[in-house]
Amino acid sequence: MKLFGNKKAPVIGLDIGSSFVRALQLSETGGGFRVEHFGMEPLREGVVVDKSVQDIEAISNAIERAVRNSGTRTKVCAIAVSGPAVFTKTISLPSDLAESDVESQVQIEANQYVPYPLDEVSLDFNVLGPSARNPDLVDILLAASKSENVESRQDALESAGLVARVVDVEAFAIANAFDLIRERDHLSKNEAVGIFDIGRDLTTLLVIRGGRVIYTREHPFGGHQLLEEAMRRYDMTPEQASFFERGEDGPEDFESEVLEPFQLNIVHQVSRALQFFASSNEYSPISTIYLAGGTASLKGLAPMVQQELGLTTRVADPLSGMDIAPSVAVSALKRNTPSLMVALGLALRGFD
């Protein structure tokens, strides 16, 4: 299956993460978009490891529940792949190349760059537009994923009675959602912005400039470390230790003894990730950081990052200003907004 896919008509944006399956569907309004359906379902540990599906049946059951809880009757989805099995690269081809020749030339380029045999990957490309470096060239985004990475998700969807119209790359879905934030926050399109998507075990730094992802790298830290420390310190079960994820108060010394040290470690890891970016060929000065993912909304985290690093830091809120259908559980939606970047970006693909 092609990675970018056919993209007409509303779809369910379905984010299959390490801890949750998230389902989001939009409708188009005169002034933008409206949230029509939202649902999410937790995943037990080990179902998704390093962005790879390990238990198709468990994923399928979670998808079915998340979609059912959302209330949608739509059976068509947009999903995303990510992790080490995904390869992306921007290549440049002559702008006068005939459309019929582009695909064959992309295959030649893919043979050179994709680090897997082409008969083992799902391959697609997207024309980005004229190259900024040479007006006689056009930039083309090449994307490839190990076929098993795509097929495991498709199998889970099929078992849940759904079909994937779009298979995207997570980084591009986040960039798609960020377009709404950039416009709302009046950021220049030419400004380089860093987005830290803090997941369960992995955090991904994306740098977006000119509407394109110019850098992405995964780093081995995430919100699960906070959960594990709360479990250890207070002898709690995973469910009990998730109080901070539900916005509930915890033990009296939680903030000083557990939360603040964890946040300081996040600051250190964010600083380290930015240093990696600074040493890359794609480096561009970053003035603004957005924190996304379930950990992003932890009390005091964004101000701490801003104070320690001297960079404007905001919690990603891609749904701000959107209308919400009466049937949507508003409190649950707003509590989870920073973790909906992928699902939102995928839901938007139905309107491309």
Within-domain flag for 316:
yes
Which CATH number characterizes residue 138's domain?
Answer: 3.30.1490.300
Check residue 281 and give its pLDDT. 80
Residue 201: inside a domain, yes or no?
yes
User: Is 0.85 topped by the overall pTM?
Assistant: yes
Q: Cα angle vertex 44, ends 240, 153, to 5°?
A: 150
Give me the domain span that covers residue 307: 12-84+147-351
Q: Where is the domain boundary, 120, 146, 172?
A: 146
Select from 68, 52, 84, 218 the least CA-distant residue to 151: 52
Q: Are both 151 and 37 inside the same structural domain?
A: yes
- The domain that holds 241 is classified in CATH as 3.30.420.40
Which of the 8 DSSP states describes residue 350?
G
Q: What percent of the chain has pLDDT over 90?
A: 72
DSSP string for 180-234: HHHHHTT--TTSEEEEEEE-SS-EEEEEEETTEEEEEEEES--THHHHHHHHHHH
- Lowest-confidence pick of 14-23, 71-80, 208-217, 298-307: 208-217
Domain count, the chain: 2
Same domain membership, residue 217 and residue 115:
no
- Segment 79-100 shows an average pLDDT of 88
Residues 57 and 103 in one domain: no
Asked, for residue 2, whether it belongs to a domain, the answer is no
Same domain, 208 and 298: yes
Place of tokens 């470690």: 265
Let me know if residue 65 belongs to a domain. Answer: yes
Query: Which whole-number Å values give the CA distances from 151 to 63, 81, 122, 170, in the listed order?
Result: 15, 10, 9, 16
Q: What is the pLDDT of residue 98?
A: 87
pLDDT one-digit tens code per residue, 288-326? 999 999 899 888 999 999 999 999 999 999 999 899 999
| Whether residue 207 is found in the same domain as residue 308 | yes
Domain annotation covers residue 5: no
Which single residue is written with the structure tokens 């790879």?
52
Which among 293, 252, 236 has a CA at the least distance from the CA of 269? 293
Q: Are residues 205 and 280 in the same domain?
A: yes
